[in-house]
Amino acid sequence: MRKITKNSGREIIRYKKGQRIVSLGDSVNFIASVKSGEVKLYKPFEGRDICIPNMRMFKEWSQMMVLTGEKSDYMVEAMGIVELEKTPKDKFLKEIKANSRKQMETLTEFSKLFLKQTRRYVNITGASAIGKVATVILDMSGEGYPLTHKLVASLTGLTRETVTLQMLKMEKMKLIDNANRKIKILNRKGLEKFLV
């Protein structure tokens, strides 16, 4: 970890690949936006890691941890070189208490996140097999890391074989290109038709 700059109470911190940002049981005492790079949130479970690669909602997660005061049930780690813009907990709480606009922005962020996660949950649990796979592809498109059939299977609860069959169907329909383990969406609207 290396501090780069400090700007009006916020610091830009650089982490190396594999460096832990938050550990199990930590009290999160900062709000952080990912300025560059990707972070993953994970938890060891029965000898394997349950993981959300490239957690785009890291800022909202850190805000919720600060506001609730709960200790982290998860670990957060840098997937490559990551730069975080950090605001200390006390500065964030002072801003949010004194500024109704900041309160509204935070509430709006949480509401959008809740709605997005609700849609995702409904599609992962209620959609057909092809709809479940389409949900993960739409959620994780353009992330820059391999979206393997095994990862899609673990995120959807489907078998790897079922995921492979669904992806082959999507390729035949010219909805995706699955070359080199990097899925490219060719027809977003076509994929969205499979969602609940």
Q: Which pLDDT score is estimated for 145?
A: 56
pLDDT of residue 175: 94
pLDDT of residue 26: 95
| Cα radius of gyration (the chain) | 19
Q: Helix axis angle, 149-156 relative to 129-140, nearest 10°?
A: 110
Residue 119 has a pLDDT of: 84
Per-residue pLDDT at 31: 92
Residues of the chain with pLDDT below 70 are: 1-9, 53-54, 141-146, 181
Of 98, 56, 49, residue with least CA distance to 75:
49
Predicted confidence at residue 123, as pLDDT, reads: 81
Give 145's contacts (C-beta < 8 A, 6+ positions apart): 38, 53, 54, 79
So what's the pLDDT on residue 10? 73
pLDDT for 140 equals 77
Residue 143: other Cβ atoms inside 10 A: 15
Q: How far apart are CA 126 and CA 156, in angstroms?
A: 11
- Show the domains of the chain with their CATH numbers: 2-90 (2.60.120.10), 120-192 (1.10.10.10)
44 vs 69: CA distance, rounded Å = 22
* Whole-angstrom distance, CA of residue 138 vs CA of residue 56: 14
